[in-house]
Structure 1
């Protein structure tokens, strides 16, 4: 009689985590960061219909990487929860923290009880009345939840993207500068510079000054003009720094 095959629980968890990380790493990254007018969400996404970035509720946005059917199920679950809670109580009773906790519980349950973990990593962002009230939560495949400060990168080579973004991030930067920082980080995701065109980007903002629904997509000519403006300003700042260095050398 054959002996039953035994795998230690620790090894099972490790195998599941490795499987999920490899699946997530195959996709492109997404970044979420603050700017002077709210929160910017940017994803490297060539599809015009399979969105990585979406609206969950009035002040709350959603960004995800990994397997589309899995994070789309999470998005729909979040929308339903927010709609029901807002209807039963008050729209102000729906918060990003609640949704992040629900996502963390769901992913934690799937990871511990299912044979196959979900290959997803998501961000829930809520824009506040002021920058101090902004909230950004990252939820990983195993249900871990992290309250991020200022910016976060998920998916793909997220650690590398995050390090590049850290060097350029300014919390009160204008939208064009924040977009330039985000696209620069995404373009250097795999250690090699590549050009990211507007058609390869999915961009949205949670705009503090908008009434009621804060979520707004940016595409077409508006996105192109913001990209060009950010590139011009970045080039001007770089040349200004070089001129200052030259002037200081002349004085010496």
Structure 2
């Protein structure tokens, strides 16, 4: 007579944790940093359509690593929660903490009740009126939530990237400096730079997904940084004043004086700078 299989609850949870960690570690890293004018998202992502960084609401952004299909469903659910809460009550009632708590409950329930946990790690960022009011929430596969003060690193070799940022990150940096610090940290452990000989080589703009939450904008603060604007920030050179470049970076044609290249007028209403409506991306590769 065969004996029924038995595993203690502690062993089951340990196995699930190990399974989720392995899946997340296979993804490429994402760094979320605060800078003088808001929050900066930097992801190593060669895809131009399967995004790891997105907008959730007016002043709230989202970044994730792990299995794309799983964190994409969480992204869409977060957008719907924010829209329903803002419509039912008030737009000021939609905060990063509310969305982060909802994600924590969902991830915790999946981890404890289902056989397979979500292989994802999330960051919910909210930009405030001042740098002291910026909020970064890191959520792990088991529903744990941590409020990080300055930066968050997820996926891949997160510990190595975090150590690099601890040495070089300075509060109140400008956008270009913060971007260069973050990209150097990701480049130090990237398989792309390792395949090309390693050293001090930096990830090219084509391998990066970059976005910001710019507190200077009155409504939709989320903007993607692409094209010549991204290249200019990485090299600390001004981007060319070209109408095609302005359109590619979702920027108005007449930026205000002192505005970083390609990011447009911070006082103008953003009518084309964010992402389209939720749920318009197709599923893709299993790990991002």
Is the shorter-chain TM-score for this pair beyond 0.5, marking a shared fold?
A: yes
User: Residue in 1 aligned with 2:28?
Assistant: 28
1:89-128 correspondence to structure 2 within 5 Å: 89-128=89-128
User: Can you give the 5+ residue segments of structure 1 that lack an aligned partner in the other structure?
Assistant: 231-252
Q: How many residues align?
A: 230
Deviation for aligned residue 1:170: 1.3
What is the CA deviation profile of residues 18-76 of structure 1, one whole-angstrom value per residue up to 9, with x for unaligned ones? 00000000010000011111000000000001000000000000000000000001000
Task: Please give the alpha-carbon distance, in whole angstroms, between the structure 1 residues aligned to 2:66 and 2:105.
Answer: 18
Segments of 4+ moved more than 4 angstroms: 190-194
Secondary structure class of the residue paired with 2:236 = helix
Task: Please give the alpha-carbon distance, in whole angstroms, between the structure 2 residues aligned to 1:115 and 1:147.
Answer: 28
What is the CA deviation profile of residues 192-211 of structure 1, one whole-angstrom value per residue up to 9, with x for unaligned ones? 54430000000000001001
User: Residue in 2 aligned with 1:73?
Assistant: 73
Task: Please give the alpha-carbon distance, in whole angstroms, between the structure 2 residues aligned to 1:102 and 1:35.
Answer: 27
Task: Please give the alpha-carbon distance, in whole angstroms, between the structure 2 residues aligned to 1:20 and 1:163.
Answer: 23
Task: Please give the alpha-carbon distance, in whole angstroms, between the structure 2 residues aligned to 1:7 and 1:73.
Answer: 31
Asked whether 1:175 is paired with 2:211, we answer no
Task: Please give the alpha-carbon distance, in whole angstroms, between the structure 2 residues aligned to 1:147 and 1:189.
Answer: 25
Task: Please give the alpha-carbon distance, in whole angstroms, between the structure 1 residues aligned to 2:42 and 2:65.
Answer: 11
Determine which structure has more spread, i.e. the larger CA radius of gyration: 1
Task: Please give the alpha-carbon distance, in whole angstroms, between the structure 2 residues aligned to 1:65 and 1:171.
Answer: 25
Secondary structure class of the residue paired with 1:6 = coil
Question: Could you say what the CA RMSD is over the residues aligned between the two structures, in angstroms?
Answer: 1.1
User: Residue in 2 aligned with 1:198?
Assistant: 205
Deviation for aligned residue 1:152: 1.0
Q: Give the helix-richer structure, 1 or 2.
A: 1
Task: Please give the alpha-carbon distance, in whole angstroms, between the structure 1 residues aligned to 2:168 and 2:212.
Answer: 19
1:156-235 correspondence to structure 2 within 5 Å: 156-189=156-189, 192-193=198-199, 194-229=201-236
